[in-house]
Chains A and B, each alone.
Chain A
Amino acid sequence: MAYTVLLVDDSETIRLAMVRAFGMTRLPMDEVIQASDGLKALEVLRSRWVDMVLTDINMPNMGGMELVRTMKKDAELAEIPVAVLSTEGSKVRIQELKDLGIAGYLRKPCKPEEIRDLLHSTLGEWS
């Protein structure tokens, strides 16, 4: 089974670097869809199936916290696993994200193997 991941970050450099990192993990990826903020991510989520969302926090228009809150309130989106990739280091903020129901958290900068482990734990086992 191959997976479709929605990658949400306002930095195109980070999105492209993450796509490259996904390739290095050798995970079965069907597609990595990119969105530059939470609003654009919601547009994608309401029109496409995705297996997982990986989002930044600080973004213009709609940030990652609001994206997660919006998804968790929407019955059609609430079950989609969301992981967060951010520079955030505050325990309070990370706990807030966990309380919202995120599937995982990675702090920038991170290594490809950390991304692999996050996707693995979020999406489940594969061979």
Chain B
Amino acid sequence: MNTQFATALREIAPLILEETAFVFTDDLSDPPPGPEWNPIGAQLAFKGDVILGSLRVWTDPKFARTIAANMLGVEEDDPQGEQRASDALGELLNIVLGNVLTRAYGDGPVFHLGIPTARPGELWPTDLKSESFWLMVEGFPIAFQGDE
């Protein structure tokens, strides 16, 4: 990630998680150690006059259900949370990216955003350390990975 984009992402992602999913985050300087996880993810491409790329988000499926439940205002064990976990993660990514682009490049440029697509866990890259941004939310890691 370039510095502008990475700085904006670090500022915006926690705020969007708080405002959209009503959760508070802690920074993680490194990917969390421990057992392998089987995350779910979402990806969203963008294109502007001077930059193009994509942003991905990865997290534990249980936390994706929490995001969905909180956005919907239902209990965490409500089936709606599980049914819409992937959709909610994609929409969270959409909101984060839209706001990150404005923070990073101002409100002058026009960016075309694609449609969020689900990323199954088997596409989880093994080495994200140098190009990802990690947060810990309610005991679950969440990673943002940008290419631009």
> A-side interface residues toward B, CB under 8 Å?
10-14, 16-17, 20, 58-60, 86-93, 107-109
B16 / chain A contacts, CB cutoff of 8 Å: 109
Q: How far apart sit A11 and B110, CA to CA, in the bound complex (Å)?
A: 22
Q: How far apart sit A20 and B87, CA to CA, in the bound complex (Å)?
A: 17
Say whether A13 contacts B72, CB under 8 Å: yes
Say whether A90 contacts B110, CB under 8 Å: yes
B111 / chain A contacts, CB cutoff of 8 Å: 90
Say whether A91 contacts B108, CB under 8 Å: yes
B120 within 8 A of A: no
Say whether A58 contacts B108, CB under 8 Å: no
B80 / chain A contacts, CB cutoff of 8 Å: 16
B68 / chain A contacts, CB cutoff of 8 Å: 13
A10 / chain B contacts, CB cutoff of 8 Å: 115
A16 / chain B contacts, CB cutoff of 8 Å: 72, 80, 84
30 contacts between A and B (CB under 8 A): A11-B90, A11-B94, A12-B84, A13-B71, A13-B84, A13-B87, A13-B91, A14-B71, A16-B84, A17-B72, A17-B73, A20-B73, A58-B94, A58-B113, A58-B115, A60-B115, A87-B94, A87-B98, A87-B113, A89-B101, A89-B107, A90-B102, A90-B109, A90-B111, A91-B108, A93-B110, A107-B98, A108-B20, A109-B19, A109-B95
Chain B, 89-109, CB within 8 A of any chain A CB: 90-91, 94-95, 97-99, 101-102, 107-109
Say whether B19 contacts A90, CB under 8 Å: no
B110 / chain A contacts, CB cutoff of 8 Å: 90, 92-93
Tell me how far the C-beta of B54 lies from the nearest C-beta in chain A, rounded to whole angstroms. Answer: 14
B88 within 8 A of A: yes
Q: How far apart sit A10 and B117, CA to CA, in the bound complex (Å)?
A: 12
Known contacts A12-B84, A13-B87, A16-B72; 16 further A-B pairs (Cβ under 8 A): A11-B87, A12-B87, A13-B91, A16-B80, A17-B71, A17-B73, A58-B113, A59-B115, A86-B98, A88-B98, A92-B108, A92-B110, A107-B99, A108-B94, A109-B16, A109-B20
